[in-house]
Homo-oligomer: A and B are copies of this chain.
Amino acid sequence: MRKPKTNMPDEQQRFERFLRSRQLKLTGERQELVAEVFAQAQHFDADQLHMALKQQGKAISRATVYRTLDLLVQCGLVRKSSFGDQHAHYEPVRSNEHHDHLICMNCHGIIEFFRPDLEHLQEAICSEHAFKPLHHSLQIFGLCKVCRELEPEGLAMSQRISQLSV
């Protein structure tokens, strides 16, 4: 059931090492889940992942999806974020370059960006408060290029905006 080590993607290897270091087991479900996580192009939530697996005949229970995502977060292979809506968002970690998010309040699209000066700013802020930073999350809520042209600032829009939390 397990694939040969040759040609095994890096993330699978890292996960396997992580599991072994904790005396945890490399099950078929865990392998399929990692593969699917890294097959995701964008951010996803637990339910989307669960669905995607089901559509491929890999019916992994929600409980296992949550349990495995949690392991992947601990392992550093997955990042978990909260954008103010009711559920958690996950994304595969493909590089060690930290990025932040622009979130469109109309189409709910997520745009990633990286800003080195933001990292410096974080340092400055933290040293002022003797705070030891471990990680940060900057979210800018607004309208993406497409949506800002579509919606002429109508009532429907401002209502929708007032629903979303920071």
Residues of A near any B CB (own CB < 8 A): 73-74, 79-84, 88, 102, 104-105, 111, 113, 115, 117-118, 121-122, 125-126, 128-145, 148, 161-162, 165-166
- Chain A's interface: helix, strand, loop or mixed, by majority? mixed
Whether B141 lies near A133 (C-beta < 8 A) is yes
Whether A145 lies near B117 (C-beta < 8 A) is no
Whether B113 lies near A81 (C-beta < 8 A) is no
Q: How far is the CA of A166 from the CA of B84 in the complex (A)?
A: 11
- In addition to A73-B162, A131-B143, A135-B142, 15 A-B residue pairs with Cβ atoms within 8 Å of each other are A79-B166, A80-B165, A82-B83, A82-B84, A82-B166, A88-B165, A102-B129, A113-B128, A115-B125, A121-B121, A125-B140, A132-B148, A133-B141, A136-B138, A138-B139
Q: Which of A79, A113, A136 counts the most B-chain CB atoms under 10 A from its CB?
A: A136
Whether A134 lies near B141 (C-beta < 8 A) is yes
Q: How far is the CA of A62 from the CA of B135 in the complex (A)?
A: 34
Q: Which residues of B have CB within 8 Å of A102?
A: 125-126, 129, 131, 133
Q: Which residues of B have CB within 8 Å of A162?
A: 73-74
Q: How far is the CA of A131 from the CA of B83 in the complex (A)?
A: 17
